[in-house]
Amino acid sequence: MLNKYEVLNKMNQGRLVAVVRGSDAEDAINISESCIRGGIQSIEVAFTTPNCLEAIRKLADQERDALIGAGTVLDPETARLSILYGAAFVVSPNFSKAICEVCNLYSVPYLPGCLTVSEMVEALKAGVDVVKVFPGSTVGTGFIKNIKGPLPNIQLMPTGGVNLQNVTEWLDQGCFAVGVGSVLTKGAEKGNYTCVEENAEQFAHKVSAYSC
């Protein structure tokens, strides 16, 4: 098992986190594996997926070179369960001190969703290393630079509103990484997982070229 800072370093190197919401565990697994084949090595399986824990367990067991995390975690009990099932990181749409304490106890990165400076400061005070800017579509890319003015030490990961056309704009603002969701499964509504892989490849290629 990777330690907390190895996980964060790998996420930062890849710059892309696939946010996966499947119709069931099997669908989430297929979407995740397609993203991994396409070059995205950080996968956030949302708890809105039925039998989410089974998907996390299987992916964590089989995809040893990828990071498998849990998303849409709303309470500390769910956070602990996801960690026990193999989640390498935990993401929530809001900041929760109780979830943060559980993740700190197990030395697992916690990325809470925040949208105000007050929320972000509270998260930093609790020991959060990376804050998820959510929903990113509400604030736009310039928000990152504005936040980094008063909080230059903060690491931010926007989720929501990130697409192939603006992904490098987000990174230009100094983002730690970006979360990419439904745009990855566009065209795959009927189980066309090849389409997911192709979408992931486009993101991975664009971010790789940007990083070089």
- CATH classification of the domain holding 25: 3.20.20.70
| Domain assignment present for 155 | no
- pTM across the whole model: 0.96
Name the average pLDDT for the chain.
96
Q: Is the dihedral of CA 100, 103, 105, 108 positive or negative?
A: negative
Q: What is the dihedral of CA 7, 8, 9, 13, to 10 degrees?
A: 100
pLDDT of residue 1: 67
Instruction: Confirm whether 148 is a catalytic residue.
Output: no
Per-residue model confidence as pLDDT tens digits over 80-116: 999 999 999 999 999 999 999 999 999 999 999 999 9
Of 65, 77, 69, 61, residue with least CA distance to 18: 69
Determine the length of the chain. 212
| Domain assignment present for 76 | yes
Asked if the model's pLDDT at residue 174 lies above 80, the reply is yes
| Domain assignment present for 83 | yes
| Coil vs helix vs strand at 68 | strand
Instruction: Confirm whether 6 is a catalytic residue.
Output: no
| Domain assignment present for 33 | yes
**Mean pLDDT calculated for residue range 139-162:** 96
Numbers of helices and strands, H then E, in the chain: 10, 8
> Which range has the worst mean pLDDT, 76-80, 133-137, 160-164, 187-191?
187-191
| Domain assignment present for 143 | no
Per-residue model confidence as pLDDT tens digits over 33-71: 999 999 999 999 999 999 999 999 999 999 999 999 999
Q: CA distances (Å), 19 to each of 8, 40, 41, 209, in order?
A: 16, 11, 11, 22
Q: How far apart are CA 208 and CA 205, in angstroms?
A: 5
Catalytic residue of the set 33, 44, 58, 197: 44
Asked if the model's pLDDT at residue 136 lies above 90, the reply is yes
Q: Where are the strands (E) in the chain, listed by range?
A: 16-20, 42-46, 67-71, 90-92, 110-114, 131-133, 156-158, 178-180
| Domain assignment present for 156 | no
Residue 174, token pair as written in the block: 């100094």
**Mean pLDDT calculated for residue range 150-154:** 97
| Number of compact structural domains in the chain | 1
**What percentage of residues in the chain have a pLDDT greater than 90?**
94
| Domain assignment present for 117 | no
When comparing pLDDT for 209 and 113, which is higher?
Answer: 113
Domain that holds residue 36: 4-112+163-168+176-207
Catalytic residue of the set 132, 145, 169, 201: 132
Per-residue model confidence as pLDDT tens digits over 1-40: 689 999 999 999 999 999 999 999 999 999 999 999 999 9
Sheet of 178-180: strand order equals 156-158, 131-133, 110-114, 90-92, 67-71, 42-46, 16-20, 178-180
pLDDT of residue 189: 76
Asked if the model's pLDDT at residue 160 lies above 80, the reply is yes
| Domain assignment present for 119 | no
pLDDT of residue 212: 59
pLDDT of residue 187: 80
pLDDT of residue 3: 92
